Structure 1
Amino acid sequence: MQPEGEKPKKKYAASFQTEWLQHDNFKDWIVKVDDSLARCKYCNSTFTVKHDGVKAVRRHKENAAHIRASRTVHQSAAMTSFFAKKSTPEMLRVAAIEVSNVYHAVMHQHSYMSTDCGMKLISATIEDAALVKKLHCGRTKAECIVENVLGPKSVENVVLALGGRSTEKVPFSIATDASNKGNRKMFPVAVRYFDADLGVQEKLLDFYELPSETAVAISNSLLKTVTDLGLSVENIVAYTADNAAVNYGVRNSVFQFLKQQKSSIVKANCFCHVLHNAARNGWFNRKYDVAYLVHKVYTEFSRSTLKNEKLRECFDELGMQYRAVINHGNTRWLSLFPAVERLLQLWPAIKSYFLELGEEQTDEMIWNFIGDQADEATGDTTEKISVPECYLYFVHHYMQLFHETISILERKHSVSPHLHTFMCSLREKLVNRVDNRFFGANVLSGLKHLPESQRASFTTDALQMYNWAIAHLGKWYDFENSQLKEFTAFDLDRESDELTVDHVSKVASNLAIEVDVDGLFDELCLVKKFVPEVRTSDLPLDEKWVQLLKSIRSRILVKVVSAVFAIPVSNAFVERVFSLMGNVWTDNRNHMLSSLVKA
């Protein structure tokens, strides 16, 4: 109670003062709620300043709970201090380092776990670099960078190079194929185009799973990919795939459905497949099946350490260096010839091994090749070659012709103006061998020691193989009327060919390209002037055209050249995509989504 005779003290209303927010003792923790209330950031509590004003603030500051909270705050770093601040040079450098490391990992097919471990290792071992401590790029973040940054950016670059939604369109070819990943069927979508600065470019646009392998489903997916990216079907000049009926059948095929969208689309068969089939399927003598022999010999030694050790002993006895037998894949273009060549290199030791093993323990196919020498001493096999060995050497000689051509066709810089020359050259080599009955130097020396009946039988088989290959080439390539034959004039290395207005206009018309004939004439006159200089360079043909078109500042001829060089001669790029898929999407990394594999 108020003592008697003493006047009560008057209380004056106070309010929150803004200068407290700048006061050295209060600014770190005080927050204004309203005119009568303040909040402490340290204590996370609210108190009134209505009656005591600044006294209430000081009283809260001296409170034991506030002192403990203040000590805790100053001893603990805020979580935000572990992150680089946004929109700062430091943040951009950190992001650039992280993205570069992820890009390096993708290019060299490293796992995301190794990327995560590598970043942690760098941070732990380089202690004197403050920036390194701010790098935090684990597996999940790396996957997000690949899927949401690097992948979309690469596709965006391709779309921009193809003109996208702009008026300047670049012609391109589209390619696809199917490959199984377990029970899933994957389809890449690749494009090939001619860049006025870089020459021929091959890029991946999409990679998706498609359960149905029908022509309708494949063509619809291709068209959807093209249109979704803002590209025009009118700019597609060719369709490339393997030579299966679903791709190039007369009626219901992907090519026929694409022609309904644009009638001038070129049928760009994969000639690597054509030559591979000609080389592999032309052999009709089942008794001496060399491809099967390679497989059987490989199987004999691929899983047995004991057999390999005995084979090494045969190598040592003959003074030969041991090398492993290699197998071939039925669908691998370039695998059979190296496998046959390796078998011939190792043949004396392999023959010695199986002769010692005996007929009962040797596979029938292998014995067909060595059985006639069971009672002979294994000596010099070059002077006297058996009938089976004649077949072996002949297949090696025959395969070499196709292997060399396929190796050229699958290169990036092998372009459509080259194709007719390559195909004619291969056919001519085969025809010359038929006319002259030439089967390789080793075979010729071996035939001399064979009876007439055996020589005649071998010659019949070998000529049949040559003739079948010649017929197969003619079935898949029209040597007289092929549209690709017209592109030969664009091969600057052929001095016999000269680009004329009529010829280029015809090519442009067939490819549905409108050209100004008057302007084309002027540019072709300039081409004649600069061609001798360009021919002397060692650049690939497409890069020679880049140099030539820049020299004449072409506006018209470049349209035709871009379309011609966009037409591929093989589906090798898509096959390389499958190889990369196999390297990245392994059994140990089987949790990856197709969207991540695509990126």
Structure 2
Amino acid sequence: MLPVVAQYFSKYRVKHGIIEFIEQQHETADGLFVNIHYILESNELEIEKLVSPGFDNTNVNIGDHHSVFSLFHQLLPGLIKENCYAHVLHNSVKNGNEHLLIDIESALLKIYVHFCRSTVRSYELKRYFDFIEQEQKVILKHIRIRWLSLLQSIDRLFIVYPVVKKFFISNSGECTLYFLVNVLKDVQDTNLRLQKYYTTGVDLHSIITSFICKLNNRLHEEFFGHKVNELLKKIPHSNEVDDLVESFRLFIHSIINYIEKYYHERSSFYKSISIFSETDIDKIQWRSIEQCATFIDNKKIDKDLLYNEFSQIKSKYIELKEKFGGIHKQIEAFIPSNLIELQQAKITNYDKTDLLNEFDNLDHSDTNEDNCDTRFHKDQKKRPLIRCDHLGAYLLNDENVPHLQKLVQFSFSVPASNAFCESIFSHMNFWGIIVETK
């Protein structure tokens, strides 16, 4: 069962909604295309307004020759090809693993099997925790297809390290383990940024370029972690040190090259729409707006009217930014008040044939969007931050700027990852377990 989901810019912020589920035994490109096309039409969604279909990174979905994307692209030549960058980051680490002197993924799986399939060895682990008077921690199984499980598995491994040290008795094994803990933290932080429900294509340029910059800095300064540097100094053989350092450099180079292979082709597009991630509107120049508009059919955007509308909104921002306690205070008041109004409208005007079935209660954390919008501003009292989609919604509210609004809606509808769809599967499994236990 596959969810068909829409990401769009609503009157108040970026939103997600489930349109329908597809039940398809064989996931072929033709079959998926026909079903998705039918669902969009049957829900009276205009195919021409599709901006960038988001999928996970399989050939069936986004392959160059015959895929769901290529079939849609035949209908809509201006369609933006989108990769799931959470998958890209995950795969970049898997790709880089071949350059390390020890296969950490295989080692973790062997350790898991070694302890968890033997009662005697499990008891040995329990005795260790009894000895140090701590609550026993089980070894976490690393699942190769999960985005963030490798670092968690390594972190847990350090807790039980004295018991399993024989698996990493060599210098290369121990150094590699500490190296991965250091570097994978950057990967995981970036992946978590990509998975936030309000992260969209407008944020992608900043996220990817800053991550690559961090990795390049590590290469330039040859910093692989303080603990790694200490261990390297203790290794008596210079050849072994050189081999380890070279493996770390190749690992990082491999991650950079893998990400750039996907990102480089569309970097100009992501850089162009990234202007809408800027929350200081004073810094946005007309030429940037004009460049962004080139990605939309010229028949849909009148550049002269767009310029006037941009000037109107920029003037509004300049006028309001220092009033009423600052722009962040105005947005903080605008978002909750409109959410209350929206919820009341849902109660009084509920329509089962609505464009999208809202999915706000999917999660009680990041994807519970209404509560998170309010909580986001409450959490920023000490250091006010402004979400770019909230700012855009606030400035466009009650303004007659159809061309600029179209450009904003276009940009914010581009997904950065497939995380929302992945979270649906997780919650389907979660609620399935609850139903079974009742």
Please give the range of the TM-score, normalised by the shorter of the 2 chains: 0.7 to 0.9
- 1:218 corresponds to 2:32: yes
Unaligned runs of 5+ in 2: 322-326, 330-383
- 1:524 corresponds to 2:371: no
CA deviation after TM superposition for structure 1 residue 494, in Å: 6.0
Output one character per residue of 1:523-567: Cα deviation in whole Å (capped at 9) or x when no partner.
222332344624675342211111111275533311110111011
Question: What is the CA–CA distance in structure 2 between the aligned matches of 1:528 and 1:348, rounded to whole Å?
Answer: 61
Task: Write the letter of the residue equivalent to 1:315.
Answer: F
Question: What is the CA–CA distance in structure 2 between the aligned matches of 1:495 and 1:277, rounded to whole Å?
Answer: 36
- 1:391 corresponds to 2:176: yes
| CA distance 1:480–1:565, shift in 2 (3 Å) | closer
* Structure 1 residue aligned with 2:8: 193
Question: SS at 1:201's partner residue?
Answer: strand
* Structure 2 residue aligned with 1:543: 390
Counterpart contact for 1:239–1:266, Cα < 8 Å: yes
CA deviation after TM superposition for structure 1 residue 242, in Å: 1.1
Question: What is the CA–CA distance in structure 2 between the aligned matches of 1:313 and 1:557, rounded to whole Å?
Answer: 66
| Matches for 1:237-386 after TM superposition, within 5 Å | 237-284=51-98, 288-318=102-132, 320-351=134-165, 366=167, 369-370=168-169, 372=170, 386=171
Question: SS at 1:466's partner residue?
Answer: helix
Structure holding more strand per residue = 1
CA deviation after TM superposition for structure 1 residue 589, in Å: 5.2
* 1:468 paired residue among 230, 254, 261: 254
Question: What is the CA–CA distance in structure 2 between the aligned matches of 1:450 and 1:413, rounded to whole Å?
Answer: 47
* Structure 1 residue aligned with 2:374: none
Question: What is the CA–CA distance in structure 2 between the aligned matches of 1:492 and 1:415, rounded to whole Å?
Answer: 13
* Structure 2 residue aligned with 1:144: none
* 1:413 paired residue among 198, 206, 225: 198
Task: Write the letter of the residue equivalent to 2:249.
Answer: L
| Matches for 1:586-597 after TM superposition, within 5 Å | none
- 1:404 corresponds to 2:189: yes
Task: Write the letter of the residue equivalent to 1:436.
Answer: E
Structure of greater relative contact order (alpha carbons < 8 Å, 6+ residues apart)? 2
- 1:202 corresponds to 2:16: yes
| CA distance 1:309–1:403, shift in 2 (3 Å) | same
* Structure 1 residue aligned with 2:241: 455
TM-score, length-scaled by structure 2: 0.79
What is the aligned residue count? Answer: 374
CA deviation after TM superposition for structure 1 residue 479, in Å: 7.0
- 1:443 corresponds to 2:258: no
Question: What is the CA–CA distance in structure 1 between the aligned matches of 2:281 and 2:186, rounded to whole Å?
Answer: 26
* Structure 2 residue aligned with 1:52: none
Identity %: 28
Question: What is the CA–CA distance in structure 2 between the aligned matches of 1:417 and 1:396, rounded to whole Å?
Answer: 30
CA deviation after TM superposition for structure 1 residue 410, in Å: 0.7
Question: What is the CA–CA distance in structure 2 between the aligned matches of 1:469 and 1:286, rounded to whole Å?
Answer: 12
Question: What is the CA–CA distance in structure 2 between the aligned matches of 1:482 and 1:473, rounded to whole Å?
Answer: 15
Question: SS at 2:51's partner residue?
Answer: strand
Question: SS at 1:284's partner residue?
Answer: helix
Counterpart contact for 1:479–1:485, Cα < 8 Å: no
Counterpart contact for 1:489–1:499, Cα < 8 Å: no
Question: SS at 1:263's partner residue?
Answer: coil
Question: SS at 2:39's partner residue?
Answer: helix
Question: What is the CA–CA distance in structure 2 between the aligned matches of 1:307 and 1:588, rounded to whole Å?
Answer: 35
Question: What is the CA–CA distance in structure 2 between the aligned matches of 1:506 and 1:266, rounded to whole Å?
Answer: 16
* Structure 1 residue aligned with 2:429: 582
| CA distance 1:535–1:588, shift in 2 (3 Å) | closer
Task: Write the letter of the residue equivalent to 1:227.
Answer: E
Question: What is the CA–CA distance in structure 1 between the aligned matches of 2:266 and 2:59, rounded to whole Å?
Answer: 24
Larger radius of gyration: 1
Question: SS at 1:188's partner residue?
Answer: strand
Question: What is the CA–CA distance in structure 1 between the aligned matches of 2:107 and 2:127, rounded to whole Å?
Answer: 22
Output one character per residue of 1:454-476: Cα deviation in whole Å (capped at 9) or x when no partner.
11110111111011111101101
CA deviation after TM superposition for structure 1 residue 415, in Å: 1.8
Counterpart contact for 1:190–1:203, Cα < 8 Å: yes
Counterpart contact for 2:279–2:391, Cα < 8 Å: no
Question: SS at 2:393's partner residue?
Answer: helix
Structure holding more helix per residue = 2
- 1:504 corresponds to 2:289: yes
TM-score, length-scaled by structure 1: 0.59
| CA distance 1:545–1:265, shift in 2 (3 Å) | same
RMSD, matched Cα: 2.4
| CA distance 1:496–1:245, shift in 2 (3 Å) | farther
Counterpart contact for 2:201–2:416, Cα < 8 Å: yes
Output one character per residue of 1:41-66: Cα deviation in whole Å (capped at 9) or x when no partner.
xxxxxxxxxxxxxxxxxxxxxxxxxx
Output one character per residue of 1:291-337: Cα deviation in whole Å (capped at 9) or x when no partner.
22222222233344443232122234345553221112111111111
Question: What is the CA–CA distance in structure 2 between the aligned matches of 1:441 and 1:496, rounded to whole Å?
Answer: 41
Counterpart contact for 2:306–2:403, Cα < 8 Å: yes
| CA distance 1:204–1:546, shift in 2 (3 Å) | same
Task: Write the letter of the residue equivalent to 2:311.
Answer: C
Counterpart contact for 2:137–2:159, Cα < 8 Å: no
Output one character per residue of 1:168-196: Cα deviation in whole Å (capped at 9) or x when no partner.
xxxxxxxxxxxxxxxxxx22111111101
CA deviation after TM superposition for structure 1 residue 227, in Å: 0.6
